[in-house]
Amino acid sequence: MLPRKSYARVSVHKRRTMAKATRYQPKSKRRSPDSVRTLISRSQIQKRISEMAQEIRRDFPVEPLHLVGVLKGSVFFLTDLARQITGEVSIDFIAVSSYGSNTRSSGEVKLTRDLDSSIEGKTVIVVEDILDTGMTLQYLLRVFEQRKPRRLRVAVLLDKPERRLAKVRADYVGFTIPNEFVVGYGLDYSERYRNLADVGVLTLGKQRKK
């Protein structure tokens, strides 16, 4: 154990050393934060999902339904929709990639996770978070049709018709929205904001804009 005088000397030397070590560190660049403006509230979402579930059951009153969610964005939507549909419902997932870290689609669709079971002879409802350019849905419908389902329908939470490039349409639509980049309720920007309960319009901070 050092004497009091020596301990004080060591402490002063340590503080001086730390000051020298930190003095020339570059300042971090400041970035204005992202902001999210609510477009569709959680209560509006839940009300519309309940209505969509009733619409689906009116079209298919008694037969089992097989819901196929498109990962990752559809998870919240599919979960709430499945709980609102009466009768027999089964669930599977498929994953594709069309967005990178940018706010615009890359235009290239890749299958990254296939279904766990066959859809042959089943009434299949493809569940998507958003119908945008339509390239992803067009690709998926080609894949599914080759697998001979009994019926094939599409349910989307959000439809953005201004961005459409492919000639596809959804049979059940939650909300038609303007050409804005939206996040929340499963939708993301670079894997962020999925957990928001509302759907909102994302505005990027200045340093994040591209």
Please list the active-site residues: 132
Length of the chain: 210
Answer yes or no: are the C-beta atoms of 74 and 80 closer than 8 Å: no
Peptide bond into 72 cis (omega under 30): yes
Task: Name the CA radius of gyration of the chain, rounded.
Answer: 25
d(CA 8, CA 160): 68
